[in-house]
Structure 1
């Protein structure tokens, strides 16, 4: 495991354990930390420039959110994604997005409508973009729909429902064929 993670940048408003957690979650979602990869506290702490304690706490939190699997007497590993995981997430996501789109249609502002039109135009030109940019563009578009819905409970669930999509795309899985 070479230098892959960026050193943690302290934020005066967030606890270090939360910053480390977010950094590690992003590394998993972006494919820097790959499914099945062993997470070694000492190496991760050195890469991020922190002590082992916030790394240990982050690994525990990642396990609670099913990003990490703990194997007794072996350690922590980045969790894989099963076909059932993908199906479950897309089932929930389709229901939430249908609701969000309906609410957004009733509540959207002119500014948000303009942003959405720009996002759609951007998506049309995705053919020339790389995979990472396509995932970001898609995520940004759906975030606009959720924001325009003006439903805080809906918004709080949005990031968790999109979590699996970047993993699938970055693992080069054809979700539709599943």
Structure 2
């Protein structure tokens, strides 16, 4: 367990919600590894709070599926299973295919400039080898495609699922051999979207998400 965990106090939120948000973010970003035990006393001491808000936060995290309770062991970070991954990526693939198609139809010159810049920043992140930076740049790249759809309902649905997507995004960027594939697929997406090729953009996005799924499943099988 890392010593970097810090609670970000917010005067507008109850302490239990602050603790919940802190632990949730630590799980999503991989600071707590799948299978890692969450000890109430240790967490309370690190966060400088009593055990009560930690216990309440762990219960909420269990309801979200981020934590599981193991008999005679207690709470631990939920492992990423192949079924969980497929469930999440089925939804993501459908939404992102639609977004790519709509973006190819609707993206204006300002959007194209933003997409070109995001591609450059993603390439810099890939060269840096910093997995967190790669995941963040990847998310920003896709956000520009979502925004270009001009469909606030679609954007909201994707936003609601952002953190679930992010957890898996971190998993596939761990595979350094896959980085060049990610970059090339982003370049293909930019070319298709900026050329207004809707069906091509949809198919490239489908391939993009499918490749991510296969990469993470392979890594899960190697780890477990």
Change in Cα spacing, 1:43 to 1:134, as seen in structure 2 (3 Å) is: same
Could you report, residue by residue, the CA deviation over 1:98-143 in whole angstroms, capped at 9, with x for unpaired residues? 2223344455565544332211121233331222211111122222
Tell me the equivalent position of 1:141: 141
Q: Please point out which of 158, 163, 169 is paired with 1:159.
A: 163
Residue 59 of structure 1 contacts residue 76 of structure 1 at CA under 8 Å; is this kept in 2? yes
Residue 28 of structure 2 contacts residue 163 of structure 2 at CA under 8 Å; is this kept in 1? no
- SS of aligned partner of 2:161: helix
Change in Cα spacing, 1:172 to 1:62, as seen in structure 2 (3 Å) is: farther
Residue 2 of structure 2 contacts residue 31 of structure 2 at CA under 8 Å; is this kept in 1? no
Aligned residue pairs, count: 177
Greater fraction helix: 2
Q: Output aligned runs, 1:8-157, within 5 Å.
A: 8-105=7-104, 108=107, 111-129=110-128, 130-149=130-149, 150-151=152-153, 152-157=156-161
- TM-score, with structure 1 as normaliser: 0.82
Residue 19 of structure 2 contacts residue 54 of structure 2 at CA under 8 Å; is this kept in 1? yes
Residue 29 of structure 1 contacts residue 167 of structure 1 at CA under 8 Å; is this kept in 2? no
Larger Rg over CA atoms: 2
What is the rounded CA distance, in whole Å, between the counterparts of 1:50 and 1:111 in structure 2?
47
- TM-score, with structure 2 as normaliser: 0.67
What is the rounded CA distance, in whole Å, between the counterparts of 2:66 and 2:26 in structure 1?
11
Q: Which runs of 5+ in 2 are unaligned?
A: 179-212, 218-224
**Further displaced range: 88-97 or 120-129:** 120-129
Q: Which runs of 5+ in 1 are unaligned?
A: none
**Further displaced range: 164-173 or 69-78:** 164-173
What is the rounded CA distance, in whole Å, between the counterparts of 2:112 and 2:11 in structure 1?
35
